[in-house]
Amino acid sequence: MTAVSSPMSVSRGAGAPVARRKLLDELTERILAHIRDEGLRPGDRLPSNRALSERFLVATPTLREALRRLEATGAVELRHGSGVYVRADLARLIMVNPNRLRLDATAILDLLEARELIEPHLAESAARHATDAQLDELAASLDRAGSALGVGGGPGERSGPGAGPDGALHAANMAFHRTLARLAGNRALAQVLDSLIDLHDEEQRYIQALYGDRDHDHHVHLAILAAVRGRAPVKARRLMVEHLRDVRQVVTRALEG
């Protein structure tokens, strides 16, 4: 461990708490600036803790605290024995509150109503703006959903919430909604939708597994894909409106039940 003493190091005197906060604020800023200036991308590894400590003239424990803070806010991932990696979430403008409370029923319905406002607009825009490569990506999410459902193979394996096949199906279905949002071409709205889905993802998976109609949802997703691929914005919007209304009815029944 290389603990470099420097003007940025912190004394242990009476003012230490404030000085340390300022030091950490500055240090996280400098680490972020390093990521930007070096053009590091999601998945890229930062220099070693030792190299960063020497570059920024701080002791290793201070550097580690700054990195833990950047991990807590989604900017990097600390992999034990491997290093520190840039996370895709660093590029986000909007994120889910890491300290959020559990959702109550009203909050879940608010999230669904927000999706009902935003997603039809996104489906319509995607039908206008998506490139062929993007449409292939969208189709791939539904291929994965089809595999998880056992479509075209043997009978689909069905099991309770949290089990393997349901987990894969839910992940593929949510990837469909998230990818469609990206295809619409507005980064802010795509991130808003990502956050809304992140927020109720767990409840949604549970409710759909218990109360949802998996095959029906899959066919509706395929119809939306076909409308987007066929450059039919009005139809894509309408199908999404109907789909999300169905989802809300399922969730409302589940919450009342």
Give residues with Cβ within 8 angstroms of 189, minimum separation 6: 118, 121, 122, 181
Stretch that binds its own copies, among 159-167, 180-188, 220-228, 231-239 (CB under 8 A): 180-188
Of 170, 178, 128, 120, nearest in space to 148 by CA: 170
Residue 101 engages its own copies in binding (rule: CB under 8 A): yes
Residue 180 engages its own copies in binding (rule: CB under 8 A): no
Residue 11 engages its own copies in binding (rule: CB under 8 A): no
Rounded Cα distance between 113 and 133, Å, is 30
DSSP string, 109-135: HHHHHHHHHHHHHHHHHHHHH--HHHH
Residue 196 engages its own copies in binding (rule: CB under 8 A): yes
Residue 27 engages its own copies in binding (rule: CB under 8 A): no
Per-residue binding letters, 145-174, with its own copies (x by CB under 8 A): ------------------------------
Residue 54 engages its own copies in binding (rule: CB under 8 A): no
Stretch that binds its own copies, among 117-125, 141-149, 201-209, 238-246 (CB under 8 A): 117-125
Q: How many residues does the chain have?
A: 257
Q: Decide: helix, strand or coil at residue 76.
A: strand
At residue 78, φ and ψ (nearest 5 deg) are -100, 115
Q: Is the CB of residue 138 less than 8 Å from the CB of residue 130?
A: yes
Q: Cα separations (Å) of 54 from 3, 39, 100, 245? A: 8, 20, 36, 56
Residue 110 engages its own copies in binding (rule: CB under 8 A): yes
Residue 17 engages its own copies in binding (rule: CB under 8 A): yes
Structure tokens, 116: 């009902």
Residue 90 engages its own copies in binding (rule: CB under 8 A): yes
Among 118, 207, 225, 254, binds its own copies (CB under 8 A): 118
Residue 234 engages its own copies in binding (rule: CB under 8 A): no
Stretch that binds its own copies, among 28-36, 146-154, 204-212, 242-250 (CB under 8 A): 28-36
Per DSSP, 79 falls in state E
Residue 45 engages its own copies in binding (rule: CB under 8 A): no
Chain contacts with its own copies (rule: CB under 8 A): 17-18, 20-21, 24, 28, 32, 36, 64-65, 68-75, 78, 80, 89-101, 103, 106-107, 110-111, 113-114, 117-118, 121, 186-189, 192, 195-196, 199
